Amino acid sequence: MNPPSLFPPLAPYEHGMLAVDALHTLYWEQCGNPDGLPVLFLHGGPGAGLSPTHRQFFDPVHYRVVLFDQRGAGKSTPLGEVRHNTTPLLIDDIEQLRRLLGIEQWLVFGGSWGSTLALAYGEAHPERCLGFVLRGIFLCTPGEVDWFVNGIANFFPEIHAEFAAAIPEVERGDLLQAYCRRLFCDDPAVTTAAAKSWSRYEGSCLYLRPQPEAVAAFESDAVSLGLGRLEAHYMRNQGFVPDDQLIRNIARIRHLPAVIVQGRYDVICPPTSAWRLHQAWPQARLQIIDDAGHAALEPGTAQALVAATEQFRLRRRFD
Q: Give catalytic residue positions.
A: 112, 266, 294
295 phi and psi, to 5 degrees?
-70, 140
| DSSP β-bridge partners for residue 263 | 289
Can you tell me whether residue 107 is helix, strand or coil?
Answer: strand
The answer to whether the CB of 94 falls within 8 A of the CB of 70 is: no
**Residue 178 is which amino acid?**
A
Say if residue 25 is exposed, middle or buried (CB neighbours under 10 Å; 0-12, 13-18, 19+): middle
DSSP 77: B
150's CB contacts (< 8 A; 6+ apart) are 160, 175
Say if strands 63-68 and 25-32 run parallel, antiparallel, or are unpaired: antiparallel
144 phi and psi, to 5 degrees?
-70, -40
89's CB contacts (< 8 A; 6+ apart) are 20, 21, 71
